[in-house]
Amino acid sequence: MIIQADLHTHTIASTHAYSTITENCLYADQIGLKAIAMTDHAMQMPDSPHYWHFGNLRVLPRKIHGVTVLKGAEVNIYNYNGDLDLTNDELKKLEWVVASYHKYTFPDFAPADPKIVTDGYLKAIQNPHIDVIGHPTTDFFPFEHERAIKAFKEYEKLIEINESSIKRKPGAAKTVVPVLQLCKRFEVPVVLNSDAHFWTEVGTTPVAEQILKDIDFPQSLIANADWDSLRERILKKRPHLDI
């Protein structure tokens, strides 16, 4: 395991996930993670929690079973105008924000032209509250790799290498290598995340790790490989946090 923080995990608040935050943190502690981001789906997803879920995350302790908990969300980029399904007032209260396309938020979904998808990304990333672009390698949303990756770097957005997508979606497994090669070329940081929907998946990214090894991807560009440097990145953006 080369990551010290898993920055994309789900709980039973998203009803297609099956574990509690306590169970996730207990396992994270057992395998040596130092931090976990709780990122349940925002409201455009059919099984998302009520928006009160995000407003009340402050009741969670900073650490659960010794693991630092970042209280966040996986927000939906729910159209190609780059709109998000949490308001800026709601987003600024969060501690970690993953922004993703999901086909379930698009009526009568059909894959769009890569230019249109990329235009949506470029509009969304102007939102300063976004930290990570979630699972961009999915083939449901093909994008112009070089154009988007350069923009992600410009706006200081991390690019997610999503273990769940790579393992379960053949298109993502094919797309991840050219995306990583461009990240390596342009020195764009990535995060390896589990996208765990059950506690045994938390912090577990063996398929992604092997791909990184195969292409000799530098560990210095894996933002969640070192908790101390990641913590500095978070505090630079959110200096009020007690992490």
Q: Long-range contacts of range 104-108, CB-CB < 8 Å, 24 or more positions apart?
A: 104/45, 104/46, 105/44, 105/45, 105/76, 105/78, 106/78, 106/79
Domain-wise residue ranges, the chain:
5-237
Confidence at residue 170, expressed as pLDDT on a 0 to 100 scale = 83
CA–CA separation, 79 and 106 (whole Å): 7
Confidence at residue 63, expressed as pLDDT on a 0 to 100 scale = 98
pLDDT tens digits, 223-240: 999 999 999 999 999 999
Confidence at residue 111, expressed as pLDDT on a 0 to 100 scale = 87
Fold type of domain 5-237: TIM Barrel (3.20.20)
pLDDT tens digits, 38-55: 999 999 999 999 999 999
Band of pLDDT at residue 148, cut at 50, 70 and 90: very high
Mean pLDDT value of segment 94-111: 95
Confidence at residue 23, expressed as pLDDT on a 0 to 100 scale = 98
Confidence at residue 82, expressed as pLDDT on a 0 to 100 scale = 98
Mean pLDDT value of segment 130-142: 96
N-to-C CA span, the chain? 23
Mean pLDDT value of segment 204-213: 96
Confidence at residue 19, expressed as pLDDT on a 0 to 100 scale = 98
Residue at 169: amino acid letter: K
Tokens of 210: 């092997």
For residue 1, pLDDT beyond 80 = no
Mean pLDDT value of segment 133-152: 96
Confidence at residue 179, expressed as pLDDT on a 0 to 100 scale = 98
- Share the mean pLDDT of the chain: 97
Band of pLDDT at residue 9, cut at 50, 70 and 90: very high
pLDDT tens digits, 153-173: 999 999 999 999 999 988 899
CA–CA separation, 234 and 215 (whole Å): 28
pLDDT tens digits, 11-37: 999 999 999 999 999 999 999 999 999
For residue 182, pLDDT beyond 80 = yes
Band of pLDDT at residue 242, cut at 50, 70 and 90: very high
